[in-house]
Amino acid sequence: MNKLMSVTIAIVLLSILLGCLGGSGELETQPLAQTQTVTDETKTINADESWTYGFEISEGAEIEIELKVLSGGAIDAFLMDSSNYAGYNYILGGGTGEFEYIVDGSSISTKAFKGKFAVPPGAYSFVVDNTAIPDGGATPTGSVDVKIKVTAKSPVEGQNGQVSTQRAAVKESVSETTIQTPDLQMSGGETIQDLGDFKVVYGSVGDPVYKKWQQYFKESRTFETMTDELNEFLILPEDVTILLDECGERNAYYDPQDVQIVICYELIEYLDNSFYDVTETDEELIKASDDTTLFIFYHEMGHALVDILNLPITGKEEDAVDQLSTLILAESDDQGEGEVAALNGAIWFFLTGSENEITELAFADEHSLDKQRFYNIACWVYGKNPERNSYLVEDGILPEDRAVRCGNEYEQISNSWAALLSPYVKE
């Protein structure tokens, strides 16, 4: 198994939101303001330690803070001016009393925080605290890994706040500040907080071949790259785990109880075996297997989004998430590589459909028949770009009677998923 094709899902989701996939949405432009990154890093903070980042604002500016605990328990996070920070440092050193902090930029006993607010000129410290102070704050349970991003932007044209940064002269320990995550009001009245991320986890593997694959995935960060792009754009109310594991069966599935996408190494091995007899070179075999793995991943991701976002789906959910996976892949580039990836996923359904006997139970299954899934995906890819994919009809792969409807089908799919996902795309 070689590396998976990289898919720029960030661009795809933006294009869905803006109606570029067949909709009529227009991008609303706003005046630009100078933005500078104060800090953007991931830190490990041991129990009973804190971490401080000091910075100075020479003119009034808008500060934005994003913080998320990647592993470990809750922390406290504080934004302080110079006098606040002196009080905090005194207590941290063993003094008694209380300290003050800027409430809008702080959060107590939290694992995720996002805030945006204006501050006057001055010196500031952002503290992530994993200690037992203050009273009523988070209780340290061990080390925590925390992703922290602080940016400063001038709120008024011509008033470009300049940011200079330097480490505060205290020990580089981290205490976590929680900033109140903004509530987002959905059109249906539901409120969602951006408190979650897609996270990749690797299971315990015994098979020597699977161990090699797992080591490759870890070193290449293939799945981490895809999830990082997803996390940049999607608002999630909770974490979704992507588990790569040795399962004892060839399968991939979404588990709503554990909020977890499971991809089994046995399935990846089965994909390799399925394409072995229909490809001529190792490169073709690897590409076909990789492309199908991508299709399956985005299919299962669709199930996760339907679940945690409570997306309304009419008809079969399995068909709907096949549509989403095809849409993501087909729109991932301008050269047609993503369309080929979706078609390789379709070919796998055709191969399995040719191998398996159709039983009465198959007609009752929540999935469409494998060969139906093949023709659906082929239709949607053709509908995305009939000129480039005309060979599908010319070579008799896609019946003409179906092909004449595929452009409208693809447009309907893109518009439908635009409506479903647009409330959950970050600004």
CA distance 4 to 181: 34
pLDDT of residue 364: 60
How many Å apart are CA 204 and CA 244, to the nearest integer? 9
374: number of Cβ within 10 Å: 24
Helical H segments across 385-424, by residue range: 391-394, 400-421
Instruction: For residue 34, give Cα distances in angstroms to 37, 66, 151, 162.
Output: 10, 18, 10, 9
Residue 326 CA, distance from chain mean position: 18
Give the global pTM. Answer: 0.59
In this prediction, residue 60 has a pLDDT band, given cuts at 50, 70 and 90, of low
Which residue, chain included where needed, has tokens 């480039």?
388
Tokens 């400063």 locate to: 152
Query: Domains in the chain, start-ordered, CATH in brackets?
Result: 9-20+193-424 (no CATH), 46-181 (2.60.120)
- Does the pLDDT at position 283 exceed 70? yes
Q: Which residues contact 126 (CB under 8 A, 6 or more apart)?
A: 38, 39, 52, 53, 55, 65, 77, 78, 79, 80, 105, 148, 150, 177
| Confidence (pLDDT) at 307 | 94
Q: Could you give the CA distance from residue 307 to residue 255 in angstroms, rounded to a whole number?
A: 10
Residue among 404, 210, 240 at smallest CA distance from 308: 240
Query: Distance between CA atoms of 417 and 419, rounded to whole angstroms?
Result: 5
pLDDT at 355: 66
Q: Per-residue confidence at 262, pLDDT binned at 50, 70, 90?
A: very high
Query: Quick one: pLDDT at residue 191?
Result: 53
* pLDDT for 143: 87
Per-position b or e across 79-116, b if 16+ CB within 10 A of its CB: bbbeebbebbbeebeeeeeebebbebbbbbebbbbbbe
- Cα distance between residue 43 and residue 148, in whole Å: 8
Inter-CA distances, 155 with 314, 322, 327, 368, Å? 44, 43, 37, 53
Residue 2 is predicted with a pLDDT of 42
